[in-house]
Amino acid sequence: MPAMRLTGYADKFSVHPGEPISFFVNCDGPRTYRAEIVELVNGDTNPRGPGFIERHVPSDIEGEYPGRPQVIHSGSYGWVADCPQLDLQSFTLQCWIWPTAPKTHERYWKHGPQAIIGQWSRGRGYGLFIDVDGHLELRVDDQVVTAPMPLRDRAWHFVAASFDAATGRAVLHHEPQVVYALDPVAEPVEAQLRPGLTHAAAPFVIAGYPAEAMPGDRQHPSGFRIAGNYNGKIDGPRLCNRALSRLEIEMMKAGADRGLTERTHAGPTNALARCLVASWDFGQGIDTLIGHDRGPYRLDLTLVNCPTRAMTGHNWRGENFDWKHAKDEYGAIHFHDDDVDDARWEVDFTWTVPEGTRSRAYAVKLTTAEGDEDYLPFWVVAKLGTTSAKIGVMIPTISYLAYANEHMATNGAGAELIMYRVPIMQDQNMFLAEHREYGSSQYDVHTDGSGVSFSSRLRPILNMRPKYDTFVAQAPWQYNADLHLIYWLDRMGYEYEVFTDEDVTYEGLARLQRYNVVLTGSHPEHNSGPQIDALHDYTQAGGRLMYLGGDGWYWVQTYHPAYDHLGRGVITELRRCESGIRPWFADPGEYYHQSTGELGGMWRFRGRMLHAVAGAGMAAQGFDVGTYYTRTPDSTNPRIAWAFEGIGPDEKLGNFGLCGGGAAGLEVDIVDTMLGSPPHTLTVATSAGRHTEAYLLVGEYYGTSQPGIDGTQHPRVRSDLAYHETPNGGACFAFSSIAYCGALPWNNGDNNISKLTKNVLDRFMQDGPLPPPPPESIKPRGRADYDPNAMIP
C-alpha cells in the first residue's frame, strides 16, 4: 500500500496579492521536508504532450522545515461541555434512532461499539450504545445492560434507558417503530446494578463518546478524542435527572415546549418539568452547527465534522418535502463515522503574496530527500477593481470539490463496465481507500452506504494535483485537465488572469465585468445559483463566454454558511435527487439543502436549462476513446465563418488529443433549442455518428428504459460546437466536450483545434461590442423551427 508520507493543503483556494495564505503539512516519517512556490503551467506527464512544466517562484517561505505527522480525526458528533446539570446520579435517556450500520464486520474499516448519547468515558458515567452485534446497550459506569433483540438497519427505533442511583434499578427500552408479523415482542429489560453513579467529568456527546482527554488540541474541539462514532440518524434526544416511568417517558417525547396557560399546555407536567435537563430539537437551526436545546439550561450542542441535517425524522408523514415548511418533521441528524469538515491541522508556514504577483495557478511544492513529493495548489486572483487583462479564466473549484478524494475506482460498483476497461489506479487511489479519514467526494457513499453530500477544501485533496490521471479517463481530469488550457494560453502568449467560481459566487458580476472574455475550465459541472446569475448578467451585458468543456452547469451546489468564519467556500453541499447521472440517490424528503434551504438536484429540474448558459448542454458520456468533429453548413454562415479562417472545409477537427485520443469525448454536450439553446444558435461542427457503444445517452433525456441509446445508434450521442450572440455585442461559443482542452496542447499547440480556439479568443477579447450580425439574420424564430438532426451525416 502506498505510504504517501507527505500530504498537505492550503487554507484557501484564492488569494489576492498582499494577502497571506497558510499551509498545513503532514510529514509522516522523514525528519525534514523542503517547501517552495512554483507556478504550474502543465501538469500532464503524457509523453505525447509537452510534458510537465513548472516554474520556480522565489519566495521567503522557501527552505527546509521539520517534519511532523498530522492526522485527521473523522466522524461527526455533537457535544456540550460538562456542567453541574450533567453531574447526575439517577437519569433517563431517550431518543429515536435510525441506525445505518448497527452490525460491524471484520472487514469494516472502523468496527467497534457505537455510542448514541450520554456522558460516559473510561468506565465512568452513563450512556446508550450499540454493541458490535447490533444490540442496544446501556452503560452505567463499568456495568452494561443489553437488549436481546438486535436493531434493524435503516428503520426507526424508539430507545430509552433509566437508572435509579438509590436502588440500582436500570430499565432499557428498545421499541422498533415498525413491527412485522413474525417479529418477536421487544420487552423492556430490567437489571439490578450497583447503586450510585460516578461522574465522568467529560463532555456530554451525541453520536460518539469522549475517550481520552486532549486539552488544548485544535483537532479535538471538545477537549477529548471522540471514539465510537455512530452511523445513522438521531431524533429527539431527551435527558432527565431521575428514573422516569414508562408513562413519563412517553409524555417526555413531546419535549420541553413552554406555554402553560388555560388555552395552551405544550410543555411537560409540573413533575417532569422539575427533572428535565435537556430536550434537543434538531429541526431548529438546520443551517447551523448548533444542536438546539429547548430545555431549561440551553445545553446547545456544538456539531463537529458537518453531519447531515434537513433529514426526515421519525414522524415524517411524506407530505412536506421542504424542511422549511415542516421543521417538526425534520428533527433528525444523520451522523457518519467518516464525515470530515476540517482536518484541523496546525499551520506549518504562511506566505504573504507579494504585491504585483501575476494572477496564475500556483502551488507549494513539497519534497523530501527520500523522494516524497506533493503539491498544494492555489490561485492568485486579482483584487476587484485592479484587473488588467482582457481574458479571465474561471477555475471550476466547486467541481474540484465535488470530485475531491473520490473512491469510485476502489469502492464504486461497476467501474470496469463504465470505463470499458480495467481501471488503472494511482498511489492516491490506493492510499485513500485505506485512509477514509481524508474524506470522500460527492460521488462516493459513506461507510454506511448513504451518499456523501458535503465536501471540504480544508483537507488534503489528493486527486487535485498535477501529474494525476483519473481512472475514468486514464488521463488528466478536472484540475490537471484544466492545466492543458493554462499551458495553451501560456504557449500562445496570451495575457490572462485566473479566478475561481468561488470568487464569482461571492462577488457576482463585479468579478466578471472587467474582462472582455471569460473562459471556463474543461468540466464546470457543479455550480452555485449566484455563479450562474453572474454569468447570465455578464453575457447579457455584452460579455463573451467561451465554454471550453462538457457537462457544464449540471448540479446544484451551495456553500454552507456555518463555515464562513473560516473563509469563503469552505464546504459545498450537493443533494442528488430524482434525475441526473447519480452514483447515489437522496432519500425521499431529503432533496432540500440544509445550507441554504434550496432544492438540490439538477439545475435543469430547477427550470434553469443547462443549454441556456452557453448554448449547449450535457447529452452523453463514455470513457473509452474520443473522436473528432467535422464542420457543418452553419460554419460558413457569415456570423461565424471568421472562426474557421485557416481551417479547411473537410478537415477532421481534433482527431487527436491527450484525453482519449480525440477532442470530442468523455462527456459531451449538444445543441437543443427545446432545452434552452437560443433559437438563433449555430451548430458549426459535430461529432455525430462517430462515438462508440461505450457512449450512452444520459437518463434525463428519456422516460422509459429503451435500447439504442449508445453512440453507434442514438442521434443525440454526439458533441456540437455551437455559437450564438447575446445582447449588447456579446456572444457565447460552446466547445461542448471535456476532452476538448486535451487537444489544445497537441503538437505544442500547432493544430486545428488550437487554431479554431485562437480565432474565437482573438475575436472575443477585443474591446467594444462584437461586430453586428448581417441584417438578414434578424428575424423571429421559434424553438421548434430548429432541426436538431440537420447536421447528422
Is residue 267's pLDDT more than 60? yes
356 three-state secondary structure = coil
Report whether 176 contacts 155 (CB < 8 A).
yes
The alpha carbon dihedral of 725, 726, 729, 731 has a sign of: negative
Which value, to the nearest 10 degrees, does the dihedral of the CA atoms of residues 375, 376, 378, 380 take? -70
Per residue in 124-177, pLDDT (tens digit) is: 999 999 999 999 999 999 999 999 999 999 999 999 999 999 999 999 999 999
Q: Phi/psi at 498 (nearest 5 deg)?
A: -110, 150
How large is the average pLDDT for residues 739-751? Answer: 98
**Could you tell me the three cell numbers for 84?**
453541574
Is residue 580's pLDDT more than 90? no
In degrees, to the nearest 5, what angle opens at C-alpha 194 toward C-alphas 192 and 200?
Answer: 125
Sole residue written with cell 455551437: 722
Is residue 792's pLDDT more than 60? no
CA distances from 650 to 461, 654, 685, 751, 755 (A): 44, 12, 11, 15, 15
Strand partners, 303: 78
Report whether 36 contacts 364 (CB < 8 A).
yes
Query: What is the per-residue burial (b if ≥16 Cβ within 10 Å, else e) of 619-647?
Result: bbbbbbbbbbbbbbebbeeebbeebbeeb
Domains and CATH numbers, the chain: 6-72+360-391 (2.60.40), 77-335 (2.60.120.200), 395-767 (3.40.50.880)
204-213, 252-261, 655-664: segment of lowest average pLDDT: 252-261
Q: Residue 417 — very low, low, confident or very high, per pLDDT cuts 50/70/90? A: confident
Q: For residue 561, what is the DSSP state? A: G
Strand partners, 115: 129
Query: What is the per-residue burial (b if ≥16 Cβ within 10 Å, else e) of 656-665?
Result: bbbbbbbbbb
Q: pLDDT at position 110, please?
A: 59
Q: How far apart are the first and last CA of the chain?
A: 50
Q: Phi/psi at 540 (nearest 5 deg)?
A: -70, -25
**Could you tell me the three cell numbers for 247?**
408513562
Is residue 262's pLDDT more than 70? no
Burial (Cβ within 10 Å: 0-12, 13-18, ≥19) of residue 245: exposed
Q: pLDDT at position 147, please?
A: 97
Percent of the chain with pLDDT over 70: 97
Sole residue written with cell 456539531: 303
**Could you tell me the three cell numbers for 529?**
445559483
**Cβ contacts of 250 within 8 Å, gap of 6 or more:** none
Report whether 131 contacts 146 (CB < 8 A).
yes
349-352, strands of its sheet edge to edge:
6-10, 20-27, 349-352
705 CA to centre of own chain: 29
Report whether 361 contacts 376 (CB < 8 A).
no
Burial (Cβ within 10 Å: 0-12, 13-18, ≥19) of residue 80: buried
Burial (Cβ within 10 Å: 0-12, 13-18, ≥19) of residue 142: exposed
Per residue in 680-725, pLDDT (tens digit) is: 999 999 999 999 999 999 999 888 888 899 999 999 999 999 999 9
> What is the DSSP track for 48-84?
TSS--EEEEE--TT-EEEE----------EEEE---G
Q: Residue 785 — very low, low, confident or very high, per pLDDT cuts 50/70/90? A: confident
In degrees, to the nearest 5, what angle opens at C-alpha 188 toward C-alphas 183 and 192?
Answer: 145
Is residue 310's pLDDT more than 80? yes
Q: pLDDT at position 786, please?
A: 63
CA 160/CA 537 separation, integer angstroms:
55
The alpha carbon dihedral of 742, 748, 753, 757 has a sign of: positive
Q: Phi/psi at 79 (nearest 5 deg)?
A: -145, 155
Sole residue written with cell 434552452: 676
Q: pLDDT at position 1, please?
A: 41
Q: pLDDT at position 323, please?
A: 97
CA distances from 111 to 101, 235, 307 (A): 10, 23, 19
CA 204/CA 79 separation, integer angstroms:
6
CA distances from 346 to 214, 379, 457, 668, 792 (A): 15, 22, 15, 42, 58
Comparing 254 with 279, the larger pLDDT belongs to 279
Helices 479-492 and 752-764 pack at an angle, to 10 degrees, of 70
Q: Residue 282 — very low, low, confident or very high, per pLDDT cuts 50/70/90? A: very high
Q: For residue 605, what is the DSSP state? A: G
Is residue 575's pLDDT more than 80? yes
Report whether 288 contacts 193 (CB < 8 A).
no
Report whether 147 contacts 172 (CB < 8 A).
yes
CA 239/CA 222 separation, integer angstroms:
20
Report whether 545 contacts 539 (CB < 8 A).
yes
